Chains A and B, each alone.
Chain A
């Protein structure tokens, strides 16, 4: 079986301890979490967890069933394999020596991202996009010198039928 990346969208009760039940399920059963993002939905009693996991198909099926079995889990969807939009946001602190500043700003322009903080020797960039875009910008900034990076992990939603 081939291991594949799967994006799961999980609606849960917005209560203390729910995230630890989900994290505990993954560590207890030996599944892996690539990324995880959690926030309240429009209904304050419900949170959405978007999770990326790498596994083969039977394991993902089992993961989804196990998640659903948790009492605080309302719904579990798999987005991979259907039509969806995904975004991730990153804050990238990049070294900005005088000779690199113009180059960095060109990259910012091309990738339609923002400079959110400037210092003597650095820029902090805010980038939003899908995984490919993230990878591309990181590849370009790497030679210039990335000091630190913070990423949100993927969030995603189904596309509505047009």
Chain B
């Protein structure tokens, strides 16, 4: 039977087993939304397309499934851009649909026209514009296939309005094959044997793992690998939860706001085993002085990540999970047993010398709040963050023992990400507690989604670390720009977040002192509604430790020590 383009879009969503998608309609999407009206796939109306993109992203990060969003042409599409770029930088599988003006109007500066594929070309894994209804189903199938395979990422499908009205036979391709796209999953056996050689010859190895381990669902394999060999593990922001924080071998995060001991371990190591991480500048600091004595084994599914920032002594192209499985097999087969006791001893000393800590006095400090969030949620909540100080404190002081527990914009550093991402995650996991750890600056970048959360009874908890300023920038101004707080003061303009929450039909709780923290959190957990917790924290609290930009990572400033 023939179907319209609009019907085909929804049929494709069903074929892909999409449970939910996020977006906002518009003129060119009217035929599509008319079909969505009767669709079994749940549609969530957002209040801004950026929110919709982040919700799809948060859903994808929490579940590992492809997140889906939809926006209209022109401003709808350009509003999606930040969300697409966020997902692209962090390799999050997403499919975004955008409406486009009718094909005969394309290029005429028609009402609400933007060159969407042009605008999003460099911030998506790939994008398509559909020019014939006969190509629609195949294009959508390709979009899902590209999004969830290889190095994952967002794919955009731009659909002109007339295509949604035209009809053709609906046939959904069973298998997608593209001759120009063949991701490599299995590592070369030879390279993996060499990797084990490097490991058995090393005395001071460190595993440096990132988002690739989460994305390939291989945290179990990573744990088996590290524990079997006794190799200490440091994680990137994107990798948090890929290895349990409670393990003795865990070194915490590395890099600019990493731990003293992770950075020293890396700088003194003789072998770095990089797994699904990309030696980003926030990790390496001054690149010429990064891990000067270390050989580097670099395992990544994306060949462009290897050799981009640091030269790998041994490149292994492949999926982190596949490679780790194979390595674990080899280790078992060859009965490899290693002893790094001296190295562990050295690391233990660094841990004693520079523990991750803060001034635990009578003042209301953000680190304390986050430790208490960990406590009251039994360490099992899904945490999303905004960007800045709140993000770093959330990474440092909530101990992540499970993958997909921390949802944060690592690569792009998108303020306004956390709250919509938390909503997306809560839709996917109704039984979990989902906390957005926010700042008073970043929460205001997508605060309109309170309306979406309340309308859908999504009981996300927002913990605002309210210091009345754009804290991370202020911290740098304090340290390097003589406390000239240029453009960073929000206090006089901040809304009353409690009243704001109430205005949206959510619940607001203000917390001014340390002793109110735990009761407020416990109260919030009992409320089956969105709760905005306004923590009035120490205003000049800083994120420690810290490596100033351009310095090698062992020159880490500890602040309190």
Residue positions of A touching B, CB distance < 8 A: 12-13, 17, 20-21, 24-25, 28, 58, 61-62, 65-66, 68-69, 71-74
Let me know if B304 and A24 touch, CB within 8 A: no
A72 to B308, CA, bound (A): 22
The answer to whether B307 has its CB under 8 Å from any CB of chain A is yes
Let me know if A24 and B122 touch, CB within 8 A: yes
Q: Which residues of B contact A13 (CB under 8 A)?
A: 180
Let me know if A71 and B178 touch, CB within 8 A: yes
Q: Which residues of B contact A74 (CB under 8 A)?
A: 179-180
**Among the listed A20, A62, A68, which residue makes an inter-chain contact with B308, where contact means beta carbons less than 8 Å apart?**
A62
Q: Which residues of A contact B311 (CB under 8 A)?
A: 58
Residue of A nearest to B303 (CB): A65
Instruction: Report B425 CB to chain A, min CB distance, Å.
Output: 29
Q: Which residues of A contact B180 (CB under 8 A)?
A: 12-13, 71-74
Q: Which residues of B contact A28 (CB under 8 A)?
A: 122
Q: List 16 A-B contacts (CB under 8 A).
A: A12-B180, A20-B118, A24-B122, A25-B122, A28-B122, A58-B307, A58-B311, A62-B307, A62-B308, A65-B304, A69-B302, A69-B304, A71-B126, A71-B178, A72-B180, A74-B180
The answer to whether B111 has its CB under 8 Å from any CB of chain A is no
Instruction: Report B461 CB to chain A, min CB distance, Å.
Output: 39
A156 to B122, CA, bound (A): 29
Q: Which residues of A contact B118 (CB under 8 A)?
A: 20
How many B residues touch A, CB cutoff 8 Å? 18
Residue positions of B touching A, CB distance < 8 A: 117-118, 121-122, 125-126, 129, 146, 178-181, 302-304, 307-308, 311
Q: A13-B180, A58-B311 are in contact. Are A71 and B304 (CB under 8 A)?
A: no
Residue of B nearest to A74 (CB): B180
Q: A69-B302, A72-B180, A73-B180 are in contact. Are A20 and B307 (CB under 8 A)?
A: no
Q: Which residues of A contact B126 (CB under 8 A)?
A: 71
Instruction: Report A133 CB to chain B, min CB distance, Å.
Output: 35
Let me know if B146 and A62 touch, CB within 8 A: no
Q: Which residues of A contact B179 (CB under 8 A)?
A: 74
Let me know if B121 and A71 touch, CB within 8 A: no
Instruction: Report B74 CB to chain A, min CB distance, Å.
Output: 19
Instruction: Report A47 CB to chain B, min CB distance, Å.
Output: 12
Q: Which residues of A contact B125 (CB under 8 A)?
A: 71
